Chain A
Amino acid sequence: MPEATLTLSNLDAHYGDFQALYGLDLELAAGEVVAVIGANGAGKTTLMRSISGLLRNRPDAVRYRGQPIGAMRADQVAALGIALVPEGRQLFPSLSVEENLMIGGKVGRAGPWDLGKVYELFPILEERKAQASTSLSGGQQQMVAIGRALMANPDLILFDEISLGLAPVVIRQIYQALPSIVGEGMTAMIVEQDIAQALAMSSRVFCLMEGRIALEGRTEDVTHDQITAAYFGVEA
């Protein structure tokens, strides 16, 4: 197995007294694309927040290429090459489309992604570059959010619910763009409620339930019944 890009060891996460993740163990190899699925409240977004540094933890609970990053701030994690496409897009309303993309490049990492390449991937954004980001449709906003993360030239990209609230035709469009992103050798973690889309993109799948990993396996090995059981917490 190639060198692990990301290693989670006994990762817990808390919001005050509420525990959202319980002792998660997980490993991602370089260049691997994995799907994380689970019902609402299963802990998927919390997992993304823990990896990206928005939720702090023990240093060794999250390791990136062997380096303990669990206690780092989000900006330090970003500088190491981990980018998050957050749930609900969360663009900066005061910034234009192009400014949103440019701020993604603020970490200053070298790599293939720049404004030109993002516009090549999503040509509509170049037409709308001077517009306020919030004036775009949901799908176009998602393209900005993805482009903004790519501008950081990350080695590991985390997608949190990229299809949430989007029309099916837009979701197809976004998923059509993903292979050209992860084809660049990026390691990716895709959190989705749209299980079929997530599985089609990934080589391994993790199903979270109530903050624990209920199922883990290679995409081609897991059965529909296993996923149903893990997703809903019932015997299929």
Chain B
Amino acid sequence: MIEWTGAIVQGVLLGGLYALFAAGLSLIFGVMRLVNIAHGDLIILAAYMGLTTTVMLGVHPFLALLIVMPLMAGLGYALQRGVLNQTLGDDILPPLLVTFGLSVIIQNALLEFYTADPRKLPGGAVETASLDLGGITVGVLPLLTFGIAVAVIAGLQFVFYRTSLGRGFRAVSDNQDIAQLMGLNKAHVFGLAMALALAVVAIAGILLGMRTSFDPAIGGGRLIFGFEAVIIGGLGNLWGTLAGGVILGVAQTLGAKIDPGYQILAGHIAFLIVLAVRPNGLFPRVEH
């Protein structure tokens, strides 16, 4: 019994990482109805940027965040203003195609610079440290990851509902033309939304890189996990995204408990069940 409880706890903590994958996706879809196929590759790009920073400066990956986050945010703003804004319109296909192309470009560029060898961020003692919670051993890093995920989502929630920037995001999401009449330049607002999303991607990438080894090809898988967490939780609901990540994580660890080969499959099955029973997700945003 304790083993199963342990698996559930591990799944919940893994869900925190998936929620971080999903938060950026959810944010940009919510603000500009853009489905970013390159999202997973951007997470891996952030992990590699973290690797370069830790190696070059000899700092801990958490400190590398101080450099990677602004870099990714800047990249997000430039990408949105320079490329993605041009693809947005009534047709949903152009942004899908362009971000798919971007995904291919990022993967190949990473392959060129870093080769296909699996790499890992050196987390030091935090990687192996663990706590004993009533007979269940919990890794400090997964616990930290979950705590960061909760903090990030609480922070995004605060930005969205308590700040002028968040009002701008919601207004542009509601009606782009009328928001423009209020003096909001939607191109700039979209750029800020992508910058914020990629700042979160930077956190997700660094935590992923400390938890597991990565190579340029694994972005697609992270994108799927992020998508699944968003859909399970319900589109446009950030706390729902955390719940979606947790459900996906628990399904995966329980699947792995039954048979290690079932880990990924169990997550997909949980996703399909939710999609079949509640197509809008478990906690869809309630429109006023």
A interface residues with partner B (beta carbon < 8 Å): 52-54, 73-76, 78-79, 83-84, 86, 90, 92-95, 99, 102-104, 106-108, 132-135, 148, 152
Contacts and interface: CB of A to CB of B under 8 A. Distances in A.
Contact of A106 (B175, B183, B287, B288): B183
A148 B179 CA distance: 11
Give the interface SS of chain B, mostly helix, strand, loop or mixed: helix
A74 B177 contact: yes
Contact of A135 (B164, B168, B173, B288): B288
B181 A54 contact: yes
20 contacts: A53-B180, A54-B177, A74-B177, A74-B180, A78-B183, A83-B181, A92-B171, A93-B288, A94-B171, A95-B167, A103-B167, A103-B171, A103-B179, A103-B182, A103-B184, A106-B184, A108-B183, A132-B288, A134-B288, A152-B183
Contact of B182 (A54, A106, A134, A135): A106
A184 B90 CA distance: 40
Interface string B178-213: 111111111000000000000000000000000000
Contacts of A132: 288
A134 B287 CA distance: 10
Contacts of B168: 103, 106
Interface of B: 164, 167-168, 170-171, 173-175, 177-186, 287-288
A75 B288 contact: no
Given A92-B178, A95-B174, A102 B183 contact: no
A137 B27 CA distance: 31
A75 B174 contact: no
B190 to A, nearest CB: 13
Contacts of B186: 75
A194 B168 CA distance: 34
Given A95-B174, A106-B183, 10 more contacts: A73-B185, A74-B177, A74-B180, A78-B181, A90-B175, A95-B167, A99-B167, A103-B171, A148-B182, A152-B182
A99 B170 CA distance: 10
A93 B175 CA distance: 9
Contacts of A95: 167, 170-171, 174
A75 B184 contact: yes
A137 B287 CA distance: 17
Contact of B173 (A78, A83, A94, A104): A94
Nearest to A52: B181
